[in-house]
Amino acid sequence: MAKQSSKREQELREYSLKRADELKQKIKPYLENSKNIPTGLNLTEFYEAQKERILNYFKATQEDWDDWHWQMRNRISDVNTLSSIFPMTEERKAEIAKTGNIFRWAVSPYYLSLMDFDNPSDPILLQGIPMGLELEDKKGEVDPMGEAMTSPAPCITRRYPDRLIINVTNICGMYCRHCQRRRNIGEIDQHSKREDLIAALDYVRANPEIRDVLITGGDALLLSDSTLDWLLSELQSIPHVEIKRLGTRTPVTLPMRVTKKLADILAKYPPLYLNTQFNHSKEVTLESRKAVDKLVAAGVIVGNQAVLLKGVNNNPDVMKKMNHELLKIRVRPYYIFHAKKVKGTTHFIPSIQEGLDIMKALRGFTSGLAIPTYIVNAPQGGGKTPLLPEYLVSLDDDKAVLRTWEDKIVDYDTDSDTDS
Ligand SMILES: *Cc1c(COP(=O)(O)O)cnc(C)c1O
């Protein structure tokens, strides 16, 4: 008897070993490719050298660098400054100047330090420095989301039954070349007026079904500490506001914004969720990690809303690697957005099929925690629409046909649906 079972055990072990070997083979191509995908945490020396170069130009100190106000005052937004730090051809200078005249640009010294000017397809460079392609866009619209038509009160965008957005500023640490709210990024940097924020809070107060308020912009964390403190305390005092959220790219573009003082303020207002936007593993740096550490220590739940961008991250391995790097610094992938057709940004838009292929390459192949939801925004404010590769082949009263992550087609008996 004992002998029998040990033989059985041996068979099972052999079977399991064979299966484990199959699984090993499945991850091999990724392991090979991922070696060539750069990560911010492995580029510390390069970033340090770039930082020195920028500090030299500004005749500034490490202390300046760590001060987010210094970073904001010294955002690079003209081509002569840029080319004094990172020399470039006259042709490239003219391209940046011409594009920048139509679509404004500005980059924090920190985010500039992540850019590799020797590599024209560097994913950080593509996100921050103007390209001639922006002017060639024939397809884009100014406001494809119809956001201007979903504002029942000042600063508010309401598109869903139980939650809404309060837009608090049009300022950002860096103006993304793929920005979806380009129409709001004018020549003038401005926070929303206090009286408008008060009107927005009044709207929230008067509508008890609103249980989730998302503070964004622009970049929510570009508000001053005192304004954030005030706004969050006002929201905290509204009984039906169950959760608050911040939309900010500062952990990526201006991580020194997350000071101990800011973290202490945020810690006063749980439950507080913060969504940021990492788009490439190169952005996951030591500085970003420090910012996230402070947020997490303050009890803030940090998530990531990536944008699928041609040339930046429209590749399954690049997305997977980024999501792994994010989990390492305790940022949970939440969404991958299919970019909207905003004027001047459509050269960044890949096909929906590419988005689906990325999702297919994640599920099963990596931790569920590393898998965000892929979202296409329906036109004219129709709302976030999740897309998945086809895992359900067919469904009727007694049978579902499933496609597994490994593309095995299997029957699933729905009639005796008692086990789970
Ligand atoms: C994206 C968005 C939200 C938040 O949506 P979730 O799916 O809950 O993250 C809320 N309001 C508006 C107008 C939005 O565009």
**Strand ranges for 121-183 from DSSP E:** 156-157, 163-167
Contact call for residues 62 and 55 (beta carbons, < 8 A): yes
Average pLDDT over every residue of 170-199:
90
> Cα(119)–Cα(85) distance, rounded to whole angstroms?
16
> Cα(30)–Cα(362) distance, rounded to whole angstroms?
11
Gap from CA of 139 to ligand 1 centroid (Å): 25
Kindly tell me if the per-residue pLDDT of 146 is higher than 80. Answer: no
How far CA 125 is from CA of 239, 339, 358, in Å, comes to 44, 18, 23
Tokens 């920028």: give the residue. Answer: 54
Kindly tell me if the per-residue pLDDT of 219 is higher than 70. Answer: yes
Taking only the tens place, the pLDDT of each residue in 397-406 is 999 999 999 9
Residue nearest to atom 7 of ligand 1 (CA): 384
Nearest CA-CA partner of 340 in 301, 379, 287, 299: 379
> Cα(281)–Cα(353) distance, rounded to whole angstroms?
22
Instruction: Supply the pLDDT for residue 339.
Output: 93
Cβ < 6 A, ligand 1 pocket: 157, 159-160, 163-165, 214, 384
Which atom of ligand 1 has the smallest separation from the CA of 145?
A: 15
Single pTM value for the model: 0.96
Contact partners, residue 12, CB within 8 Å, separation at least 6? none
Instruction: Supply the pLDDT for residue 210.
Output: 98
- Geometric angle at alpha carbon 287, from 283 and 289, rounded to 5°: 80
Instruction: Supply the pLDDT for residue 2.
Output: 56
Calculate the CA 189 to chain-centre distance. Answer: 22
Instruction: Supply the pLDDT for residue 188.
Output: 79
Domain 147-387 CATH assignment equals 3.20.20.70: yes
Which atom of ligand 1 has the smallest separation from the CA of 335?
A: 9
Taking only the tens place, the pLDDT of each residue in 158-168 is 999 999 999 99
Q: Where are the domain boundaries for CATH 3.20.20.70 in the chain?
A: 147-387
Contact call for residues 115 and 129 (beta carbons, < 8 A): yes
